[in-house]
Amino acid sequence: MNISQAVKMAIQSVTSNKMRSFLTMLGIIIGVAAVIIMVSIVQATTARIKAQMENMGTNMISVTLTGRNSTRNLDINDMQKLVADNPDYFICVAPTITGNPRIKVGTVNESTNLIGSNQHYSSIHNATVEFGRFISEQDCITRRKVVVIGKYIQNHYFPGEDPIGQILKVSNQVFTVVGVLEAKTSTIAQGSQDDRIIIPYTTAQRLLRNAIIRTYSFQAVSAEVSEKATDKLEELLLKLLRNENAYRVMNQAEMLENVETMTETMSLMLGGIAGISLLVGGIGIMNIMLVSVTERTREIGIRKAIGARRRSIMTQFLIESIVVSCLGGIIGILLGIVGTYLVGRAINLEAVATAGVMILSAGFSITIGVFFGWYPANKASKLDPIDALRFE
Amino acid sequence: MIRIENMYKIYNMGDNEVRALDGVSLHIGANEFVSIVGPSGSGKSTLMNMIGCLDTPTEGKYYIDGTEVSQMRDDQLAEIRNRKVGFIFQSYNLLGRLTVLENVELPLIYAGLAKNERRHLAKEALKKVGLEGREHHRPNQLSGGQQQRVAIARALVNKPSLILADEPTGALDSKTGEEIMQMLREIHQEGNTVVLITHDKEIAKNAKRMISIHDGKIFSDCEVKYA
Ligand SMILES: Nc1ncnc2c1ncn2[C@@H]1O[C@H](COP(=O)(O)OP(=O)(O)O)[C@@H](O)[C@H]1O
Ligand SMILES: [Mg+2]
């Protein structure tokens, strides 16, 4: 007896009792769909968090002074010396001063996010210039009133115009637009990362009447050295400030690593839960197969009387259980694809079931069919033909 | 063709044992038509199951065409049943979920024949028992006599040399029973060995040789004189 014949027999038997077959499959269907939905959502969430973190910068290490009215200061020269002394660890450093001034072009007058920094901010924070130029070292030294604007500012204040060389008033002071940044978001909305302006930090200190720089961002040479670079930085900070609680250091590479570990743990946990539901589904299949073997004892006897070997009977029942579990797997995969889409839409996440997780689930279903079908099929194949024929 | 030497089949060995076969020796030649008669419980079916390689004896030797089968394993017996034996049961024993044609094809599936050949042979066998046009019916859509004819077609389809019929007319009225007996006579005339099991001596007279069995023992074995 060949396999295609056995598959045909199995399908015949599965379709002859549709309701029971469906209920048997239900465990597998739910298990497979659950695996696909959970894994896909976790993958999509991770991808989003990683994208957001990569948007923040590349191999970035930042230090922020804590304590609202602390008079402690970090001198930019100390920071620049750290970079210059440790070229194996650091590429560059950018100070950051933030503010929330009102800006004005013609009659349009709204507040925006202001960042005061230097020429390195662009590479550290992935703030790429779309056209024009970024602020330069010379701008900082001479406290020029030049400004690089985000995409939202361009769209909102200079619609249909070339903004380069135009005047933009920041807190009633006249600035010249020298560059426009590439969009960071897809919506380019007000209040988003594209709603911002960048000016030289020296100019910002004057404009905001604030000489203290509370935040510096460093760029490490690579993700690998970023931990050592962080140690170096903390060593210097402790020496300068003499208080561990006066500052907070954030290491981007480490944060990415943390996200990855968290995702792994979550995947394992969810995978375990889904695995248990698949196991329960498998036991359901075994149960029904055992019932089916008992019910069909006479059929087995007849088949044996006319010449079926053990192998033929074994194959027949094994394939039947594989067909049930695969059918369940297929329905589960379809349900998983739809479910992933719906859940993703509900929580506003672009989630799609990947081929990898679908192949994994399909493999799982077949394995369950074989594993849990084996015992009943073996039992059927070993029935004594005489006993089987006598069975009522 | 068939030689049985001193065969025993004993159930419940030890306390209140049942000797379904109690020292049976028997020889049946090729192209014989033999009937085995005896009252209910005398061991007829047990003997037929032994002859058909469905059952294994507690003791004794059994040869088909010169090869000993009493020591064979499950799968070897299955192959002999498939190639050399055709069974006809009192209760037809058709598979209710399959069509008539699929039922008749079944022995050929286990013989490993290709689909086209199977179809062809099964249709031929059905034609022979007069069931053309019924190929796609289910067994429960047919009368008892028709179902038994499907069973005969199934028994014949693999062209076995030995046909075993266990009370084939037991569930039928006398007219359809006679049709089935006519068919068995034809099968015999075509050169097959036929063993007919019955408790009815009148039916047994269809055969040329009658073996009487009682409490697992043969007590007479004689030629049938035709009226
Ligand atoms: N599996 C079994 N276990 C115990 N006794 C059995 C079994 N099968 C048959 N027998 C006994 O063997 C005897 C012969 O049975 P059987 O060959 O079926 O008789 P017949 O077909 O002549 O009516 C009976 O007494 C029956 O009860
Ligand atoms: Mg009987």
Q: Is the CB of B216 under 6 A from ligand 1?
A: no
- Which of B93, B97, B110 lies nearest to residue A308, judging by beta carbons? B110
Taking CA–CA distances from A15, the nearest residue in chain B reads: B97
Looking at residues B83-110, what average pLDDT do you find?
Answer: 94
B171: buried, middle or exposed (CB in 10 Å: 19+, 13-18, 0-12)?
A: middle
pLDDT digits (tens, 9 = 90+) for A42-93: 888 888 888 888 777 888 999 998 876 566 778 899 999 999 999 999 999 9
Q: Is the CB of B46 under 6 A from ligand 1?
A: yes
Looking at residues A348-374, what average pLDDT do you find?
Answer: 87
Cα gap A34→A31, rounded to integer Å? 5
- Which of A5, A304, A311 lies nearest to residue B109, judging by beta carbons? A5
Task: Give the mean pLDDT of chain A.
Answer: 89
Quick one: pLDDT band at residue B190, thresholds 50, 70, 90? very high
Counting ligands in written order, the one closest to the CA of B43 is 1
Q: Report which secondary-structure segment, H or E, holds B213.
A: strand B209-214
Q: Kindly report the CA angle at B217 between B214 and B222, in degrees rounded to 5?
A: 80
Strand duo B33-37 + B193-198: pairing: parallel
Q: Which CATH number fits domain B2-223: 3.40.190.10, 3.60.20.10, 3.40.50.300, 3.40.50.150?
A: 3.40.50.300
What stretches of B50-93 adopt beta strand conformation (E)? 59-64, 67-68, 85-88
Cα gap B37→B199, rounded to integer Å? 5
What stretches of chain A adopt beta strand conformation (E)? 60-65, 90-99, 102-105, 108-111, 113-117, 129-132, 146-149, 167-170, 173-181, 196-200, 215-220, 247-251
Q: Are the C-beta atoms of B162 and B50 separated by less than 8 Å?
A: no
- The confidence score (pLDDT) of residue A69 equals 56
Write out the two tokens for A283.
């036991």
How many C-beta neighbours within 10 Å does residue B117 have? 11
Q: Which residues of B touch A312 (CB under 8 A)?
A: 110
Distance B181 CA to ligand 2 centre (A): 18
Q: Are the C-beta atoms of A216 and A227 separated by less than 8 Å?
A: no
Cα gap A144→A76, rounded to integer Å? 18
Q: Do B82 and A1 touch (CB under 8 A)?
A: no
Q: Look at residue A293 and give its three-state secondary structure.
A: helix
Of A72-81, B26-35, B42-51, B94-103, give the lowest mean pLDDT range: A72-81
Quick one: pLDDT band at residue B133, thresholds 50, 70, 90? very high
Q: Is the CB of B9 under 6 A from ligand 1?
A: no
Cα gap A136→A120, rounded to integer Å? 9
Looking at residues B105-119, what average pLDDT do you find?
Answer: 93
Task: Give the mean pLDDT of chain B.
Answer: 93
Strand duo A108-111 + A102-105: pairing: antiparallel
Cα gap A108→A161, rounded to integer Å? 15
Mutate to test the pocket of ligand 1, among B10, B15, B36, B46 (most ligand atoms within 8 A of CB): B46
Mutate to test the pocket of ligand 1, among B45, B47, B215 (most ligand atoms within 8 A of CB): B45
pLDDT digits (tens, 9 = 90+) for A114-148: 999 999 999 999 899 999 999 999 999 999 999 99
How many C-beta neighbours within 10 Å does residue B226 have? 6
What ipTM does the predicted assembly reach?
0.94
Q: Is the CB of B43 under 6 A from ligand 1?
A: yes
Q: Do A306 and B154 touch (CB under 8 A)?
A: yes
Looking at residues A8-21, what average pLDDT do you find?
Answer: 84
Residue corresponding to tokens 């045909």: A8
Tell the residue nearest (CA) to atom 24 of ligand 1.
B41
CA dist list (Å): B58 to A323, B12, B24, B81 = 40, 11, 12, 20
pTM (2 decimals)?
0.75
Of A57-61, A69-73, B53-57, B87-91, give the lowest mean pLDDT range: A69-73
Q: Is the CB of B49 under 6 A from ligand 1?
A: no
- The confidence score (pLDDT) of residue A39 equals 86
Q: Do A309 and B52 touch (CB under 8 A)?
A: no
Residue of higher predicted confidence among B218 and A257: B218
Cα gap B221→B209, rounded to integer Å? 7
Backbone angles phi, psi at A324, to 5 degrees: -60, -45
